[in-house]
Every structure is written in C-alpha cells, then in structure tokens.
Amino acid sequence: MDLTLKIWRQASGLDKGKFVNYKVGNISHDASFLEMLDILNEELVIKGDDPVAFDHDCREGICGACSLYINGRPHGPDRGITTCQMHMRNFKDGETIVIEPWRAKPFPVIKDLMVDRTAFDKIIQAGGFVSVRTGGVPDANAIAIPKHDADLAMDAAACIGCGACVAACKNASAMLFVSAKVSQFALLPQGRPEAHERVQKMVAKMDELGFGNCTNTYACEAECPKEISVANIARMNREFLTAKIVAQKA
C-alpha cells in the first residue's frame, strides 16, 4: 500500500517544530506500524536526511516504551493494543496518516515523536512501592487474599506506564495511571500499611508536575492498551478521601 505520512518533526525541545509530509510506498498490510516507520527511516537515511525519532523497545506490547498519537488516537486505531502491536491492515491504501507526539505539559518533546515521560517515574518515586525488609522468605500462603481482590490488583498492575491515558485525556490528566498504581497496592494486604501515605504523596506529586484534573470523560479507559478500568480512579478518590479524613497529622 502507498501512504502519505504527516509527521511532527522537532529537532529538540528548544525547536519550534512543524509537520512534514512523507510518502512511503509498497508497504505490506502485514507490516507492523513501527516496521513501516523503520522503512521510512531507512529511506531517509539513504537520502542523507535525519530519521524520525520515536520510542520503542520490546515491540511486543509489554514494556510501555512505544507511544505515538495516530490519527487522533494514542496507539492508533484498534482497542487494547500498543502502537508496536498495531498492523498496517488497519489503514487504507492511499490514506494520509497524521502522527503526533503525546501532548502534555509534563511530557515535553525530546525530539520529533519522542517525549520525556520521567514525570511518571517521579510519581512512582513519591510512593508507588511497598517498603519491605530483607529476611527469611515468607510463606506464600500465610496471608489469605480473596481471588477477586487478587484479580483486580493484577488488572491494575497490567498498566505499562506508556502515558496513553494522559495523551488521550482532553485535560492531559494522569489519573488513570496514578490510580492503577495506587490500586494495585491498595487492594492487597501488603500494600495497606502505607496506603494512606502513598495515595496522598502520589496525588500531590501528580498535581505538582502539572497534569490536568479528571473530568470523568473516560477517554483514558477507551485508549488504554491494557484496558485499565476507570473504576480504579474511583478507588483512588475513595482512598484519598479516607486518607484525608482518618490519617493522623504527619
């Protein structure tokens, strides 16, 4: 298939950036989207042009490195997959595909389609962990956990931190990401001791970094490659409210 690609090019964070149109031809329907970009980049390199920078790593939907806002949708058309899992059969021959970077104040563009997602790491550092002491290996069945809770915690933990929720949200809100990270611990007994402190610190960090607020538009859930549910956002709000009310003053 032959395609026109309208791609955001920006040399660095300081550069203003603009859209540039490229033509690619003879692309297989079975090629992955990133393979199609690889082909474009090879052609650009041969011509002596600067290849298009984009994030990728595992190319199998588990690492969360790939991004790209394709035709108005993070990770492109199709539900529940990342850009690296998406194939060219989702597009029509002759189509123009618009490719943009994630847009959010806390995700500044590094180059072209690559954005700096360190903001997510900072939120995790603020409280997205369980403090454990070293020592003997605990008995795996010492603490009984209802299957239903374990499943919900696993569903939340499926978040790969790609940032599609922020990209999709009209407010560039990180609530789906943060709520998944809060929930995966809040649902399990191991996470309870630090639960109140955790939710308050992570929310404070999220606000400080300049992410938007949640209007419950639910575009995040629709675009999440791991189909994380907005029920997690409600859980986080619940956790936050309880923490504010019952937690002792620090």
Partner 1 sequence: MVKIMYASITKKIVMSLVGLFLTSFLVVHMSINLLILFDDTRQLFNEAAHFMATNPFIQTFQWILFIGFIVHIILGLVLQIQNWMARPVGYDRKGSSEMSFFSKYMIHTGAIVFIFLLLHFANFFVKAKFGHLEEITYDSGTFEDLGILVVQLFQDGGYVAFYVIAILLLGFHLEHGFQSAFQSLGLNHNKYTPVIKVVGTLFSIAITLGYIAIPLVIYFS
- List interacting residues with partner 1 (CB under 8 A): 6, 8, 19, 69, 71-74, 98, 100, 103-106, 168, 170-173, 200, 203-204, 206-207, 210-219, 221-223, 230-231, 233-241, 244
Site for ligand FES contains 84 (CB under 6 A): yes
Assess 234 for contact with ligand HEM (CB under 6 A): no
Residue 82 binds which of ligand HEM, ligand FES, partner 1, none (CB < 5-8 A, kind-dependent): ligand FES
Residues 207-246 that bind ligand FES (CB under 6 A): none
Beta carbon nearer to ligand HEM, 12 or 216: 216
**Residue 201 binds which of ligand FES, partner 1, ligand HEM, none (CB < 5-8 A, kind-dependent):** none
User: What DSSP string describes the chain?
Assistant: --EEEEEEE-SSTTS--EEEEEEE-S--TTSBHHHHHHHHHHHHHHTTPPPPP---SSSSSSS-----EETTEET-SSSS--GGG-BGGGS-TT-EEEEE----TTS-EEETTEE--HHHHHHHHHH-S------SPPPTTSS---HHHHHHHHHHHT-----HHHHHSTT-B-HHHHHHHHHHHHTSGGGGGGHHHHHHHHHHHHHHTT-B------HHHHH-TT---THHHHHHHHHHHHHHHHSPP-
Q: Is 56 in the site for ligand FES (CB under 6 A)?
A: yes
Question: Footprint of ligand HEM on residues 198-227 (CB under 6 A)?
Answer: 213, 215-216
CB-side exposure of 111: number of CA atoms within 13 Å?
Answer: 7
When binding is defined by CB under 6 A, the residue of 82, 179, 184, 229 that contacts ligand FES is 82
Interacting span for ligand FES (CB under 6 A) from 60-68, 169-177, 187-195, 233-241? 60-68
Which one of ligand HEM, partner 1, ligand FES, none interacts with residue 66, CB within 5 to 8 A by kind?
ligand FES
Which value, to the nearest 10 degrees, does the dihedral of the CA atoms of residues 77, 167, 80, 231 take? Answer: -140
Burial of 172: CB neighbours in 10 Å, binned 0-12, 13-18, 19+: buried
| Smallest distance from ligand HEM to CB 143, Å | 36
In the complex, what is the shortest distance from the CB of residue 218 to ligand HEM, in angstroms, rounded to a whole number?
12
The answer to whether residue 57 forms part of the interface with ligand FES (CB under 6 A) is yes
Task: Please identify, using beta-carbon distances, which residue of 176 and 188 lies nearer to ligand HEM.
Answer: 176
Which partner from the list partner 1, ligand FES, ligand HEM, none does 64 bind, CB cut-off 5 to 8 Å by kind? Answer: ligand FES
Give the tokens for residue 165: 């929720």
Binding site for ligand FES (CB under 6 A): 56-59, 61-66, 82, 84
